A and B are shown apart, each in its own frame.
Chain A
């Protein structure tokens, strides 16, 4: 590993640890908020759609389906939204200390990944309680998380540098994620979507990661496309995001 890459990794780790420690410092429930957010979304979606979209599944199965969807979706939205503001909120730091400008994005995503891992533990604990029996296929989970993290990081890198120039992009991204929420099988099964749309679902990396996580929760083997598409899309998005960021970085620091 080159010295500059080692420095980026060390700094990103320091930012991640600091961000994770600072996150809920002044709240009463503290760390529990990490779990409450996806849990409350799951309970809400379960209560509203159980009768219509959860037909044909037991209550426990549908709750687990929605909980897994909410946890995976929550990570994607949080990572891209927080990542998009990473440079804006550290403008002072960027203008006063020399360090690679992409580090705050990696640091914020690192802190969110730590939180996500806790949420995944809660999800798999819930799966056990609800009668699911995870198997050796759980060993594939790091691959699924890696694909999600890389995909979110690639998007966050691009958003972070353009948000410095035009903050409007944060509003645009909020609208995009709202639309994507309904285009991703968070609370409904992909089988319920119109056939014309269904064939596009396989190319949705967040949806793929969601399906893979659900399969792993139940102890099953994810469909190959649910493993390969999120990982390939994630790594290529990360590479593209990194290239865009490196090209824009010198101008960004002066505009921050």
Chain B
């Protein structure tokens, strides 16, 4: 199987502010009176590889490094040390609604987010009816986004991703606000996309079990397990017991 995502010894360190930004704090730091930030190791020595077409879950508690991992694979963040290699186009919307404008219609937002997902204006125009139909939003094409519920925004975002069909799809809790019927429809779509590699971070372990053949378990920024989903979920349950 072709290797599509490879991480080797990846560490990601952030600087966290220790107190509110202030003129006094800035002056104190400038004069050597103590640092105003402290390091946070979000990911520590993470290595794994994923083959073409694999559906891989990413699980772990809050702050375990799931979103940071997805951002590194997406190319949004650069690793502090180590190497991230992705073959092909990786795209995802790691937060539903990111990039969308509340005052614009669904059709206008489709053009805006479509551009971020490398779809041309003509492609978006052509695919828009099908996108809206998949999301069940045909009658909302010209309604401003501020009139949409969170679940409707998630459905629109997912339909856009589906139309963009990137080789590597990154999802971070994208379906958590959508209704059950749409969740099933979307999961079926993801499972059917044979060549598309999926990295899916979620707290919905049932969905991870249904969708993913292998799963990564992160804890405090470290990769503690990577293997068949059933085994990793059992390990996660044992760790949290």
Contacts and interface: CB of A to CB of B under 8 A. Distances in A.
A3 B70 CA distance: 24
B95 A96 contact: yes
A162 B11 CA distance: 26
B98 A92 contact: yes
A244 B93 CA distance: 28
A15 interface: yes
B46 interface: no
A18 interface: yes
Interface in A1-42: 7, 10-11, 13-15, 17-18, 21-22, 25-26
Contacts of A17: 111
From DSSP, what is the main secondary structure of chain A's interface residues?
A: helix
Contacts, number: 66
B48 interface: no
Greatest chain A CB density within 10 A among B95, B112, B120 is at B112
Interface residues of A, number: 24
Contacts of A97: 74, 76, 93-94, 98-99, 116
B76 A14 contact: no
A191 interface: no
Interface in B61-91: 71, 74-78, 90-91
Contacts of B93: 96-97
Contacts of A25: 103-104, 144
A15 B121 CA distance: 12
Contacts of A21: 104, 108
Interface of B: 14, 21, 26, 71, 74-78, 90-91, 93-95, 98-99, 101, 103-104, 108-109, 111-112, 114-116, 118, 120-121, 144
Given A95-B76, A96-B76, A22 B115 contact: no
A253 B76 contact: yes
Interface of A: 7, 10-11, 13-15, 17-18, 21-22, 25-26, 92-99, 166, 250, 253-254
A73 to B, nearest CB: 28
A129 B191 CA distance: 66
B112 A18 contact: yes
A184 B165 CA distance: 52
A211 B90 CA distance: 49
A92 B101 CA distance: 12
A7 B118 CA distance: 8
Contacts of A14: 111-112, 114-116, 121
Nearest to B109: A18
Q: Which 7 A-B pairs have the closest CB atoms?
A: A14-B115, A96-B98, A25-B103, A96-B94, A96-B95, A98-B75, A22-B103
Contacts of B109: 18
Query: Which of B93, B109, B116 has the most chain A CB atoms inside 10 A of its CB?
Result: B116
A97 to B, nearest CB: 5
A98 B74 contact: yes
Given A14-B115, A98-B74, A93 B99 contact: yes
A15 B74 contact: no
Given A25-B104, A92-B98, A98 B112 contact: no
B104 A93 contact: no
Contacts of A94: 76
Contact of A15 (B21, B103, B112, B144): B112
B95 A92 contact: yes
A25 B104 CA distance: 8
8 contacts: A10-B115, A10-B120, A15-B112, A18-B104, A18-B112, A21-B108, A98-B91, A254-B14
